[in-house]
Structures are given as structure tokens and as C-alpha cells.
Amino acid sequence: MQKRKTSIITARMPPADKNAIQRRAKAAGMTVTDYLTACALGKEIVRVEGLDAVLSELKAQGRNLNQLTTLANMGRLSVLRGDELIRGYSALCSAVRALIQEAE
């Protein structure tokens, strides 16, 4: 359950500082509010480069697997070349492992 944001803090700063904060929040994939809160409370901010590409590939592999499962359940799939599917999932797992090690 997410906490309601009801309190306001106002800060004055030069426009260049505001722009830098906005850029850093965007680079971290966060809102400015979440970014400033994390920074002020000493929370670690981890941004993993390449995660978007891995998630996109994971979604594509999931769609492919779903289509194959549907065809198999309909009896319309007679031969499956599993070696290509296994190589794809192996590469995806390796990419996820590399991202996890990078984030640690």
C-alpha cells in the first residue's frame, strides 16, 4: 500500500540546479519527488543500464511461448524446434544474471 503524499516542502535554487536534479531523476527512472526523497533519506539509488532491452526481449519471448502453447493445445503444432527456443532463453537468462551482478 502506497503512502499518501500530503506534505509539501518548498526549496529555492538556481535554475541550473533544478535542471540538474530533473535530469538526474529522469536518468534514475524516478519522479523528482521520489528522487529527492531518496537522496535526502540516504537511500541508495540504483539504475541498471540495459534493463529496458532485457525486459522487452523477455516480453517477446513470453508472447512466443504463449503462441506455441496455444497452437500445441489446439493440436495445430506437430514439430517444435526447441533448440532455438532454449538458446534464446539461455541468452536472456545470461543477460539477466549480468544485470543482477552489475546492480550488486
pTM for the model? 0.46
pLDDT digits (tens, 9 = 90+) for 49-98: 777 888 888 888 888 888 888 888 888 876 667 777 778 778 888 888 88
pLDDT digits (tens, 9 = 90+) for 13-37: 999 999 999 999 998 889 999 999 8
> What is the distance between the alpha carbons of residues 80 and 34, in angstroms, rounded to a whole number?
47
From the list 25, 32, 42, the residue with the least C-alpha distance to 11 is 32
> What is the distance between the alpha carbons of residues 100 and 55, in angstroms, rounded to a whole number?
13
> What is the distance between the alpha carbons of residues 87 and 27, in angstroms, rounded to a whole number?
32
In this model, does residue 100 exceed pLDDT 80?
no
> What is the distance between the alpha carbons of residues 67 and 71, in angstroms, rounded to a whole number?
6
